[in-house]
Structure 1
């Protein structure tokens, strides 16, 4: 078998009920030049055997059994990236399915536009098979080509629900040169997004829906609220640092202010009586302060230096100072 055009990475964990449908939808693709990497994430059920069984049925499928390096799918995705041979990469979650023309549509768009990243709309799929589209304002209504800056301008629109995640997109494999998902962090995709976009000249958004997300009880984001909140905040701080490296001070300030406000509003949800939660919260806040200090130093504005000092004094002080400034400006 020669080098495949496309590598499909599927982390597999506790997916006995859904893996067959996922794999079958991938094998039904009209673009057949791909390899399918089933990454067993040390699933405690029969999934490892299922992965091996599928690998015996089709020469395009490889079953990998890396040692787990931490909670969450990051280690499995990284193992897939290390093993991938294709010039293009896409990822599918093991409880989701894809339309037969998904790969062909994404690849054709990449070839036409020259974009290093192509994103299409996703759609919810209920357990009974019914498709439940996202609200129209959250979907791409027309094919749109975005530069790096245009992408971040659009990021704060309702489109964010399509921009975040790892699936329903096609990546040029070169985007992952030197980039891997942070292990042990939820919403790891949100965290690495700036690293990937920084390597893209353009991002192609398609008004096409070809990825079906099965939502069900027991998902990571439904059972780990504390970790999700901190993971999203870490992602905002990382995004701000990326903006700072580009000299986009207003974008950096906006991301950091969002992170600070989120920590302030949700502090009670972290159960700081637990030493682990308390230490993690303190570490995230310290990272936020360091990045805000860096922003103030680079931009050199007195107002930013005062905000950075207020943040170091504490989240309530920062919140009160920001409210005071807003009141002075008349809202």
Structure 2
């Protein structure tokens, strides 16, 4: 197999993690790689480190640009992609040595437009694997007609851009939205709309690093961009996938309630209550549609009813459920599988 895989790595303030990421790419058993490193105006030594790696391996191309954010850096890198396939890797994450080879094998065998690999949530001392939807030793899961439904659910098919092998021709002219967090939510459905077949590789081969200073670890009102993305996607769903409208409403409701509570926990981020009011107004305006969407989900239906009466009632309901779970009066939610770090990672 001599098809070239382009790996695009946006780089910004990851000096502590970059070497691990790049070493994991260079150690791939699949050798036909084009490695595009985009230094997004990083103020530390990331740019120098990237150049250092490029001097040692001619598959690496380094580009330096003014800071424009993750989306802008990915878009910039895509301009220089020449490979048949493209993978996005975040620069604080890393890959199993056989990830690209495994994904290419699956892509060829199933003639897939996209291959998504399972992944680990990687912490400093341990790994977590989400085993709620499939096991690590399951056969590859082929999705075609149900693909958009799975994306909206965000269970098997994730909205993340990383961890997927794309046919470059599919994503070439679909840029990422600049200036937003959770840019993948604005992007993924437009990609999947063009896809005939996605294959899910159930073996976790991507390590998604969880660090305390990442943009998803510290809450600010910018995190509400995810709601903007979900609502924008909902309009798309209403146009092209009417059968998924209820599922889309369900996801918006669930995410809205989570962010309302996060704003309560971070009161300094919403001193005048502006953002909480926006969430409350949306839920009340769309109450009937949301109610229909969660008719068969007891817990979420109760949360919706209580929230529309008064948000504090929903907080009390969730607190009560937490207490009951503590004393095993109601079932605890299924947790993620904890994996020994040293047994699974070479980095």
TM-score per shorter chain, which class? 0.7 to 0.9
Provide the rounded CA distance (Å) in 2 between the counterparts of 1:52 and 1:321: 53
Q: CA deviation at 1:142?
A: 2.8
Asked if structure 2 preserves the Cα contact closer than 8 Å seen for 1:39 and 1:80, the reply is yes
Provide the rounded CA distance (Å) in 2 between the counterparts of 1:164 and 1:278: 28
Asked if structure 2 preserves the Cα contact closer than 8 Å seen for 1:9 and 1:80, the reply is yes
State the partner residue of 1:95.
92
Q: CA deviation at 1:158?
A: 6.8
SS of structure 2 residue aligned to 1:201:
coil
SS of structure 1 residue aligned to 2:228:
helix
Equivalences for 1:53-202 in 2 at 5 Å?
A: 53-69=52-68, 72-128=69-125, 130=126, 132-139=127-134, 141-147=138-144, 149-155=145-151, 159-160=155-156, 163-202=158-197
Provide the rounded CA distance (Å) in 2 between the counterparts of 1:315 and 1:222: 26
Q: CA deviation at 1:266?
A: 4.1
Asked if structure 1 preserves the Cα contact closer than 8 Å seen for 2:122 and 2:209, the reply is yes
Provide the rounded CA distance (Å) in 2 between the counterparts of 1:220 and 1:325: 31
State the partner residue of 1:294.
none
SS of structure 2 residue aligned to 1:152:
helix
Query: What is the aligned counterpart of 2:217 among 205, 218, 222?
Result: 222
SS of structure 1 residue aligned to 2:20:
helix
Structure 2 alignment gaps of length 5 or more: 302-347
Please identify, of 151-160 and 219-228, the stretch whose mean Cα deviation from structure 2 is larger. Answer: 151-160
Provide the rounded CA distance (Å) in 2 between the counterparts of 1:195 and 1:324: 26
Asked if structure 2 preserves the Cα contact closer than 8 Å seen for 1:12 and 1:40, the reply is yes
- Larger helix share, 1 or 2: 1
RMSD: 3.2
State the partner residue of 1:289.
none
Aligned residues: 289
- Indicate yes or no: 2:252 matched with 1:316: no
Q: What does the per-residue CA deviation read over 1:179-233, in whole Å, with 9 as the maximum and x for residues that have no partner?
A: 11101111111221111101111101112221112212111101134322x2221
- Indicate yes or no: 2:205 matched with 1:206: no
Provide the rounded CA distance (Å) in 2 between the counterparts of 1:37 and 1:325: 43
Provide the rounded CA distance (Å) in 1 between the counterparts of 2:88 and 2:45: 22
State the partner residue of 2:324.
none
State the partner residue of 2:31.
32
Provide the rounded CA distance (Å) in 1 between the counterparts of 2:212 and 2:206: 20
Provide the rounded CA distance (Å) in 2 between the counterparts of 1:198 and 1:22: 31
Q: CA deviation at 1:123?
A: 1.1
Structure 1 alignment gaps of length 5 or more: 286-310
Asked if structure 2 preserves the Cα contact closer than 8 Å seen for 1:264 and 1:316, the reply is no
State the partner residue of 1:299.
none
Provide the rounded CA distance (Å) in 2 between the counterparts of 1:326 and 1:21: 43
User: What is the TM-score with the length of structure 2 in the denominator?
Assistant: 0.73
- Indicate yes or no: 2:251 matched with 1:252: no
SS of structure 2 residue aligned to 1:83:
coil
Q: What does the per-residue CA deviation read over 1:87-145, in whole Å, with 9 as the maximum and x for residues that have no partner?
A: 100011111111111111111111111111000110133325x5x24131144633111
Q: What does the per-residue CA deviation read over 1:7-62, in whole Å, with 9 as the maximum and x for residues that have no partner?
A: 10111111111111111111111111111111111111111111111111111001
Provide the rounded CA distance (Å) in 1 between the counterparts of 2:244 and 2:292: 22
Asked if structure 2 preserves the Cα contact closer than 8 Å seen for 1:6 and 1:89, the reply is yes
Q: What does the per-residue CA deviation read over 1:225-257, in whole Å, with 9 as the maximum and x for residues that have no partner?
A: 4322x22212222322222332x2231344245
Q: CA deviation at 1:272?
A: 5.1
Asked if structure 2 preserves the Cα contact closer than 8 Å seen for 1:8 and 1:92, the reply is yes
Provide the rounded CA distance (Å) in 2 between the counterparts of 1:112 and 1:188: 31
Pair 1:48–1:315, CA change in 2 (3 A): same
User: What is the TM-score with the length of structure 1 in the denominator?
Assistant: 0.77
